[in-house]
């Protein structure tokens, strides 16, 4: 059943129906889960949530965007508080067409002038629209709809403005004859006497709707006996969340901690549930390329990290805590977050201290006398399929790994274009020269490695390799062959990755460069460690 048909049936139900206010996708979801059959998309609440007044300060297109999110998040019908229709007859025609496109079931329009003012702010001073003008709006709205079940509710503001029952009834009959599907009778009295008097005098030819904001204590049975079909609780969700957020903010500010508040607020898990995060995980299983599932990571973490002094006397650099979490564990977490489950760690110094759950370890026991390529060769049996190789002492933002994984070239490396001058600060730096320097201008032309090493001429340097490589299955095979060829050299134990890359370049192997500008760091010394704590 369409949402428009659902709403029309609610209007003509033989039982009193209740709608609850919502002002965004999340609150709409909560209304639905609470059991309400429909939602009131309150103009006051939406305006307040956007931080503006209920005086048409939020444009109709901004309101439209909000209710679209509400509609997407729910399966029950939404009645939009359409204020005065956001203009004249032409504006409301366009509004109705746009609401239908977004699955909104109905709109309520009040017979005041544009721009509107909230009914509870000096309502008696607010002029009403001429009857003929408002009748024209209703007719235009009905002519604009393409779904026969889309509903137009005419909101009677006569009582708010201080008019008599006779005038409100006169207007109601004109609006009903113009095609309004229902009438919303509004009042700011503390008792429901005005709306009940109207209901008693009304001939019942159109369903009646009331909004008991000020006369909320009236028993709802009185509305039911009066023949009223729908009650709208118009702003209670907005007001309740204001109270809750004020309390939480004051408590956290006063206590300088979230410890107490955590026990009183919804869990992150509940937020994810309301966002339907599980559906996205299932969709990823269905639609994402399965090749990412088979990607393997090798982390080189054999060195002690002597520049960290006493900190690495009892444990290797890879296990030094950063923000309370070992550096290695942070890397492992990032790879698993990118759906890389098969992780190999090459360890050496203090290997008995190197640990991470679900990780396979290989050892380089001669770590003191060897360099990077010999450590990599210890994991040669794992050099197959799609692969990511990472130094064990780097941190990087997750988008860097995500962008690297989708590169299609056989061998790709990450280069920091902002790292041209690091050699003056660091000792050994993998400077790179490329086929094209970094540019802010977009280009579809791929960039490739031209040279790499710590001693490149300054004028040729385009950045620094950060210690992150990604290879396809074919690229891994090329990398493995190059490693095997270099292993024949007598100085193999002292060779580094720049030696491997230059070896590949000499054989016309293309190595793609993925440029970044910062958003990573390596942990070499105590200053780096300090920066890492705040990374």
* 180 & 259 share domain: no
Give backbone dihedrals phi and psi of 449, rounded to 5 degrees, phi first: -70, 135
Supply the CATH number for residue 56's domain: 3.20.20.60
Tokens 């949402």 locate to 3
Query: Are 126 and 160 spatial neighbours (Cβ–Cβ below 8 Å)?
Result: yes
Give backbone dihedrals phi and psi of 180, rounded to 5 degrees, phi first: -60, 135
pLDDT at 259: 83
Instruction: Tell me the C-alpha to C-alpha distance, in Å, between residue 466 and each of 11, 265, 370, 521, 527.
Output: 64, 41, 20, 8, 18
Tokens of 71: 């509609």
* 346 & 401 share domain: yes
* 421 & 511 share domain: yes
- Nearest by Cα to 416 from 520, 501, 517: 517
Query: Are 145 and 136 spatial neighbours (Cβ–Cβ below 8 Å)?
Result: no
pLDDT at 292: 47
Q: Is residue 2 part of a domain?
A: no
Task: Name the β-bridge partners of 435.
Answer: none
* 328 & 444 share domain: yes
Q: Is residue 1 part of a domain?
A: no
pLDDT at 524: 85
- Nearest by Cα to 376 from 390, 356, 386: 390
* 266 & 326 share domain: no
**Residue 101 preceded by cis peptide, ω within 30:** no
Measured between alpha carbons, how far apart are the two ends of the chain, in Å? 51
* 182 & 258 share domain: no
Supply the CATH number for residue 297's domain: 3.90.550.10
- Nearest by Cα to 26 from 276, 263, 279: 276
* 272 & 295 share domain: no
- Beta strands (DSSP E) in 120-187 are 151-156, 182-185
- Nearest by Cα to 56 from 125, 123, 115: 115
Query: Are 506 and 441 spatial neighbours (Cβ–Cβ below 8 Å)?
Result: no
Query: Are 140 and 154 spatial neighbours (Cβ–Cβ below 8 Å)?
Result: no
Q: Is residue 374 part of a domain?
A: yes
* 101 & 205 share domain: yes
Rounded Cα distance between 413 and 401, Å, is 11
Range of the domain at 265: 244-279
pLDDT at 307: 86
Tokens of 324: 């309370």
pLDDT at 169: 96
Rounded Cα distance between 238 and 20, Å, is 11
Alpha-carbon 464 to chain mean position: 32
Query: Are 388 and 379 spatial neighbours (Cβ–Cβ below 8 Å)?
Result: no
Alpha-carbon 450 to chain mean position: 39
Rounded Cα distance between 416 and 80, Å, is 50
pLDDT at 372: 92
Q: Which residue stretches of the chain have pLDDT < 50?
A: 292-293
Residue 375: Cβ within 10 Å count: 23
Tokens 């193999």 locate to 492
Looking at 255, 279, 303, the residue that finishes a domain is 279
Looking at 226, 256, 279, the residue that finishes a domain is 279
Q: Catalytic annotation on 75?
A: no
Q: Is residue 67 part of a domain?
A: yes
Rounded Cα distance between 245 and 84, Å, is 31
pLDDT at 124: 63
Rounded Cα distance between 426 and 445, Å, is 32
Rounded Cα distance between 6 and 149, Å, is 9
* Continuous segment of H or E residues that includes residue 116: none
* 95 & 227 share domain: yes
Q: Is residue 327 part of a domain?
A: yes
Alpha-carbon 226 to chain mean position: 46
- Nearest by Cα to 394 from 480, 469, 482, 338: 469
* 59 & 114 share domain: yes
* 45 & 133 share domain: yes
- Beta strands (DSSP E) in 25-121 are 38-41, 78-81, 106-110
Residue 239: Cβ within 10 Å count: 13
Query: Are 417 and 440 spatial neighbours (Cβ–Cβ below 8 Å)?
Result: no
Q: Is residue 525 part of a domain?
A: yes
Q: Is residue 506 part of a domain?
A: yes
Number of domains in the chain: 3
The secondary structure of 227-295 as a DSSP string is T--EEEE-SHHHHHHHHHHHHHHHHHHHHTSSHHHHTTS--HHHHHHHTTHHHHHHHHHHHS-GGGGG-
pLDDT at 123: 55
Q: List Cβ neighbours of 519 (8 Å cut-off, separation of 6 or more).
A: 396, 397, 399, 400
Nearest-5° Cα angle at 274, 271 to 279: 110
Looking at 279, 300, 333, the residue that finishes a domain is 279
- Catalytic, out of 54, 149, 498, 528: 54
Instruction: Tell me the C-alpha to C-alpha distance, in Å, between residue 86 and each of 43, 59, 116, 301.
Output: 11, 8, 9, 64
* 358 & 484 share domain: yes
Q: Is residue 3 part of a domain?
A: no
Query: Are 159 and 194 spatial neighbours (Cβ–Cβ below 8 Å)?
Result: yes
Rounded Cα distance between 242 and 235, Å, is 11
Helix, coil or strand: residue 434: strand
Q: List Cβ neighbours of 57 (8 Å cut-off, separation of 6 or more).
A: 47
């Amino acid at each position: 059943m369409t949402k428009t048909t659902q709403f029309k049936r609610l209007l003509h139900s033989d039982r009193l129906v209740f709608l609850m206010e919502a002002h965004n996708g999340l609150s709409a979801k909560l209304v639905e889960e609470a059991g309400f059959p429909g939602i009131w998309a309150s103009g006051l609440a939406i305006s307040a949530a956007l931080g503006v007044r209920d005086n048409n300060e939020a444009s109709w297109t901004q309101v439209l965007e909000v209710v679209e999110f509400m509609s997407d998040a729910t399966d029950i019908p939404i009645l939009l508080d359409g204020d005065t229709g956001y203009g004249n007859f032409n504006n409301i025609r366009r509004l109705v067409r746009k609401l239908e496109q977004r699955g909104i079931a109905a709109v309520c329009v009040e017979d005041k002038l544009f721009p509107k003012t909230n009914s509870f702010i000096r309502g008696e001073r607010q002029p009403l629209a001429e009857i003929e003008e408002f009748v024209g709006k209703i007719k235009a709205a009905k002519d604009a709809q393409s779904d026969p079940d889309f509903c137009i509710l005419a909101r009677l503001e006569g009582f708010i403005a201080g008019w008599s029952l006779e005038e409100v009834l006169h207007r109601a009959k004109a609006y009903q004859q113009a095609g309004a599907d229902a009438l919303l009778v509004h009042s700011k009295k503390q008792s429901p006497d005005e709306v009940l008097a109207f209901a008693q005098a009304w001939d019942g030819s159109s369903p009646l709707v009331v909004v008991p904001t000020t006369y909320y204590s009236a028993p709802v049975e009185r509305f039911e006996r009066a023949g009223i079909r729908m009650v709208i609780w118009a702003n209670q969700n907005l007001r309740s969340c204001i109270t809750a957020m004020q309390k939480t903010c004051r408590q956290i500010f006063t206590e300088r901690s979230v410890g107490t508040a955590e026990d009183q607020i919804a869990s992150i898990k509940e937020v994810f549930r309301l966002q339907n995060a599980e559906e996205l995980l299932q969709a990823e299983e269905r639609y994402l390329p399965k090749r990412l599932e088979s990607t393997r990571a090798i982390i080189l973490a054999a060195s002690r990290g002597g520049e960290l002094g006493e900190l690495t006397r009892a444990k290797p650099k890879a296990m030094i805590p950063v923000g309370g979490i070992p550096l290695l564990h942070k890397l492992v977490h990032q790879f698993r977050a990118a759906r890389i489950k098969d992780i190999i760690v090459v360890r050496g110094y203090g290997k008995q201290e190197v640990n991470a759950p679900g990780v396979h370890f290989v050892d380089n026991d001669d770590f003191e006398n060897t360099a990077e390529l010999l450590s990599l060769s210890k994991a040669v049996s794992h050099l197959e399929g799609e692969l990511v190789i990472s130094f064990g002492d780097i941190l990087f933002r997750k988008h860097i790994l995500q962008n690297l994984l989708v590169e299609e070239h056989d061998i790709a490396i990450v280069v920091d274009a902002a790292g041209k001058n690091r050699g003056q600060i660091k000792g050994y730096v993998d400077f790179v020269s490329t086929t094209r320097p970094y540019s802010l201008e977009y280009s579809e032309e791929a960039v490739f490695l031209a040279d790499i090493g710590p001693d490149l001429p300054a004028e040729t340097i385009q950045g620094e390799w950060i210690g992150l490589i990604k290879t396809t299955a074919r690229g891994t095979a090329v990398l493995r062959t190059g490693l095997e060829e270099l292993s024949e050299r007598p100085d193999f134990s002292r060779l580094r990755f720049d030696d491997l890359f230059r070896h590949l370049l000499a054989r016309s192997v293309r190595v793609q460069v993925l440029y970044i500008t910062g958003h990573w760091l390596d942990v070499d010394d105590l200053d780096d460690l300090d920066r890492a704590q705040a990374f």
